[in-house]
């Protein structure tokens, strides 16, 4: 196999129209996404909302729970500004999140290796190697 090929599979994950629970911070983010032209695709597993605007964006929400600290990978040291232009959809979203009080962190992960690899290794082309940004809000 010389490159990754996406093959659709039957799945058991149900898609719903709403998060299991909301708060004002989540509502502000969703309002911003709608105003910015993002298309809502649905919610999977109660807490992960899928949006589309040139690319797919999945926002996992921690509303009533806190993530386990040992599940948060170390910070890569990259900032979104070194990867995305402010004028891009992603740049506009990340800028909005920072203005809303979120602290953004890009964790060490395989996609960072893929970026540094410059796309020459097909192992990093799978959707499994997604770009991640963690957004922490002081009120959540």
- Count Cα neighbours of 13 within 13 Å in the Cβ-side half-sphere: 9
Is residue 52 assigned to a domain?
A: yes
How many domains does the structure of the chain reveal?
A: 1
Residue 61 CB burial class (10 angstroms; 0-12, 13-18, ≥19): buried
Give pLDDT tens digits for 63-109: 777 888 888 888 888 899 988 899 999 999 999 999 999 999 988 87
Is residue 68 assigned to a domain?
A: no
Is residue 94 assigned to a domain?
A: yes
Q: Which two tokens stand for residue 114?
A: 């893929």
Is residue 131 assigned to a domain?
A: yes
Cα-Cα-Cα-Cα dihedral sign, residues 78, 127, 57, 14: negative
Is residue 108 assigned to a domain?
A: yes
Banded pLDDT at 15 (limits 50, 70, 90): confident
Give pLDDT tens digits for 123-136: 666 655 677 888 88
Is residue 10 assigned to a domain?
A: no
Is residue 86 assigned to a domain?
A: yes
Give pLDDT tens digits for 27-40: 999 999 999 999 99
Is residue 57 assigned to a domain?
A: yes
Q: Which two tokens stand for residue 45?
A: 């597993």
Higher-confidence position of 4 and 15:
15
Mean pLDDT of 2-24: 75
> Which domain, by its residues, includes 36?
15-63+73-136
CA separation for the pair 10, 13 (Å, rounded): 9
- What percent helix, strand, coil does the chain show, rounded to 5? 30, 20, 50
Helix (H, G, I), strand (E, B) or coil at 82: helix
Q: Which two tokens stand for residue 134?
A: 């963690």
Residue 43: what pLDDT? 86
């Amino acid at each position: 196999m010389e490159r990754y090929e996406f093959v659709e599979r039957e799945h058991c994950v149900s898609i719903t129209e709403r998060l299991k629970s909301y708060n004002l911070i989540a509502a502000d983010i969703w309002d911003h996404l709608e105003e910015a032209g993002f298309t809502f695709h649905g919610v999977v597993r109660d807490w992960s909302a899928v949006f589309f605007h040139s690319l797919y964006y999945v926002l996992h929400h921690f509303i009533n729970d806190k993530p386990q600290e040992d599940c948060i990978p170390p910070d890569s040291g990259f900032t979104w500004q070194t990867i995305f232009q402010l004028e891009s959809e992603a740049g506009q979203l990340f800028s909005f999140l920072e203005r809303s009080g979120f602290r953004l962190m890009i964790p060490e992960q395989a996609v960072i290796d893929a970026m540094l690899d410059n796309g020459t290794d097909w192992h990093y082309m799978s959707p499994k190697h997604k770009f991640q940004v963690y957004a922490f809000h002081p009120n959540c």
